[in-house]
Amino acid sequence: MYAARLTHGPVELAFTDRHGGVSGAPYDSLNLAWAEDDPDALAENHRRLMADFAPGDRLAELSQVHGNTVSVIGPEGPSHAVHGHLHAVADGVVTAEPGVTLMVRAADCVPVLVASDDGAAIGAAHCGRPGLVAGIVPATVAAVRGLAAGPLTAWVGPYVCGACYEVPPEMQDDVAAVEPASRATTSWGTPALDVGAGVRAQLERDGVRVVDLSRCTRESADLFSYRRDGGVSGRQAGIIRRSR
């Protein structure tokens, strides 16, 4: 069920893998996507995850659009709900509320989890190539800092590595002009992007301590990867909560 799971003071966080759910092939088995799978299986996968990770919590999840909008979950929650969960259209989500688990989904993009070291506020961001350029991770960091003072720690989850993420030279140049650390070369010698390296550079410039829990989604059979599997790829997630 988990590629990584740990605690950081009063904060609990995890990155899921593809095991422990009920979805059939080719989405087997813990697919946490919105669609393109049996809705009952998706609902059961979410139920199983929440029953294990945070029984009784509300789940705050996103329709991700590769932008730089951050949703703040207050006592009243966001404006509407989907599938019985708190919901917003954004690529970042933050809260200072206990009893709320934040989720972002990915299948090659970079899931990033953020917490103030005192546990007063938490955040999560979904960052692909457009989000790196748009600055979704710095925007999420700023939103967490708007809720809590003091040092922050961020955890970078699994994503497609620079050795596997081939892009046209013009695209590489455009992204690297914004974030030079993202420039990479594939293992076969062609232009590439390492979005996770760009995310780490942005976090470090913002003074955030970074814990790298990443591994390559394309190279890991126990993770979903759009680059490897195309439209039949499921989604894993990064999840984070305040335990008190």
Domains observed in the chain: 2-242 (3.60.140.10)
Work out the mean pLDDT of the chain and round it to a whole number.
Answer: 94
pLDDT number for residue 83: 62
Residue 85 has pLDDT above 80, yes or no: no
Q: pLDDT-based confidence at 243, cuts 50/70/90?
A: confident
Q: pLDDT-based confidence at 76, cuts 50/70/90?
A: low
Q: pLDDT-based confidence at 223, cuts 50/70/90?
A: very high
pLDDT number for residue 5: 97
pLDDT number for residue 120: 96
227 vs 220: CA distance, rounded Å: 12
pLDDT number for residue 82: 62
218 vs 226: CA distance, rounded Å: 8
Q: Which phi and psi (to 5°) does residue 118 adopt?
A: -90, 0
pLDDT number for residue 79: 53
Residue 75 has pLDDT above 90, yes or no: no
Residue 132 has pLDDT above 80, yes or no: yes
pLDDT number for residue 12: 97
pLDDT tens sequence across 9-60: 999 999 999 999 999 999 999 999 987 899 999 999 999 999 999 999 989 9
pLDDT number for residue 84: 65
What is the rounded average pLDDT of the residues 115-129?
A: 97
Q: Output the pTM of the full model.
A: 0.95
- Could you list the beta-strand ranges (E) of the chain: 2-8, 11-16, 58-63, 70-73, 80-82, 85-89, 92-95, 100-106, 110-116, 122-127, 152-156, 183-185, 191-193, 209-212, 236-242
Is residue 77 within 8 A of residue 58, CB to CB? The reply is yes
With a pLDDT cut of 90, the percent of the chain lying above it is 86
